Structure 1
Amino acid sequence: MTTSESPPITFAETRGAVKGYDKRAVDAFLVRAREAFETGAEPITAAEVRQAAFPLVRRGYVIAAVDAALGRIEDAFAAREREAAVSSEGAHAWVGQTRETAQVVLDRLSRPKGRRFTRVGPLRYGYRIDEVDLVADKLAKYLETGDSVTVEQVRAVAFRMQRGGYREVQVDAVLDAVIEVMLAVA
């Protein structure tokens, strides 16, 4: 069976007023990801899978089910990327790059509470500072001592908003870097 003949992956649909991911957008992304994984045509990276976003609609796919599938797809792409890098650059170089990324992230997370990320203006909303700092402490401990944190826990992190909070883009970039480090050493 070729990629174009493979049966589509389907997820449960939301009901009532609950919104879910747009089915056509999810299906199109999954077809593209499958083709990229199986044939190498139009490559996709693990980071692209992690950053995939879909419109929210009524009677869409249940978000948690799609997110879980995307997590597994990201893991597969990350493993492939790790294997390719180790075979082309060697394990020592791969470990060195991963260690370097981990140190940059740890340096950011080790900043004083309330000053780990740039804040948005006082009239704009950003991530709630105390919640981000709590997660940052946990991730810093993971990077320093190997305390138990899973990739799924980092993927599932969500923060409430507050005026003058941390800039979302910066926090999200650090969370993405933590996931990359975790997948690199998996």
Structure 2
Amino acid sequence: MALDFQRKIPASFERVRGNEFGYNAKQVDQFLQRAKVALETPKAASHTVSSSDVRSVSFDPVKGGYSATVVDAALDRLEDAFARRERDELIAARGEDAWLREIGNLSGVLRGRLHRPDGERFRRPTRKKARSYNVSDVDNLCHSLIGYLEEDQPLSVDSIRRAVFRPAAGQDGYEETQVDAFLDRVVELMAAID
């Protein structure tokens, strides 16, 4: 796994033009160094890193920084590597049945929300002009997730990571933070399964 990580994560990333915004290179490099140590030699790591940490990391925007697209793709691969290790460690410590129960429990929680009626899956913002996600866009993705979870239809974890919804305002859309938190759990499940 460590060699796989080294092959897939470049030593340095492509930068955007000097007048465009990208990720703060120093922050990216520091996080990836910490993650590399945590992945390759977990017992020697001063800070633990999990797949959830990789999924939720953010970097300050700076002019001339690293290309967000390139860094995000590398972070996706890194998250997958941590998810595989976490799955393997759980199976080694508690057995495959424990892993299957955990996956089943998470899947059950997600399915409960997925099977709510269209237009009722997530909260609506309470503030009139709050940014929100287009309801039909989110519901369409939820239909694809049902197909993936229950009908064995193909769907990649990257399509969930990169999902984009048209903007809405206030009650016309779903609350962004709730949808984002749900999709984080979906990514967690899919990364553990695939």
Contact 2:114 2:142 survives alignment (8 Å):
yes
String of CA shifts for 1:30-62, please: whole Å, max 9, x gaps: 111111112212211101101111112211111
SS at match of 1:53: coil
Q: CA deviation at 1:88?
A: 0.9
Over the residues paired in the alignment, what is the CA RMSD in angstroms?
Answer: 1.5
SS at match of 2:174: coil
Q: In the alignment, what sits opposite 1:182? A: 190
1: CA distance between counterparts of 2:74 and 2:59? 14
Cα separation, partners in 2 of 1:17 and 1:131, compared to 1, 3 Å: farther
Aligned partner letter, 2:89: A
Partner of 1:3: none
Q: How does 1:50-65 map to 2 (within 5 A)?
A: 50-65=55-70
Unmatched tracts of structure 2, length 5 or more: 1-5
Equivalent residue of 2:132, what SS?
Answer: strand
Q: How does 1:91-110 map to 2 (within 5 A)?
A: 91-110=96-115
Runs of at least 5 residues in structure 1 that lack an aligned partner in the other structure? 1-5
Matched, 1:88 2:93: yes
Deviation at 1:16, TM superposition (A): 4.9
Structure 1 position 140, deviation (Å): 1.6
Distance 1:179 1:132 in 2: 15
The alignment's TM-score, normalised by the length of structure 2, stands at 0.88
Q: Indicate conservation of the 8 Å contact 2:123/2:174, yes or no.
A: yes
User: Is 1:169 matched with 2:177?
Assistant: yes
* TM-score after normalising by structure 1: 0.91
Number of the residue aligned with 2:3: none
Q: Deviations over 1:90-117 (max 9, x none)?
A: 1011111101111110110111111100
Shift of 1:23: 0.8
| Paired letter, 1:58 | K
Tell me what 2:83 maps to: 78
- Structure 1 residue 18: deviation in Å? 2.7
The answer on 1:152 being equivalent to 2:158 is yes
Give 1:10's match in structure 2, choosing from 1, 12, 15.
12
1:26 is aligned to: 28
3-state SS of 1:20 partner: strand
Equivalent residue number for residue 144 of structure 2: 138
2:187 alignment partner AA:
I
Partner of residue 122, structure 2: 117
Shift of 1:161: 2.0
Which contiguous aligned blocks of 4+ residues in structure 1 show a shift greater than 6 angstroms? none
Give, in angstroms, the shift of residue 123 of structure 1: 2.0
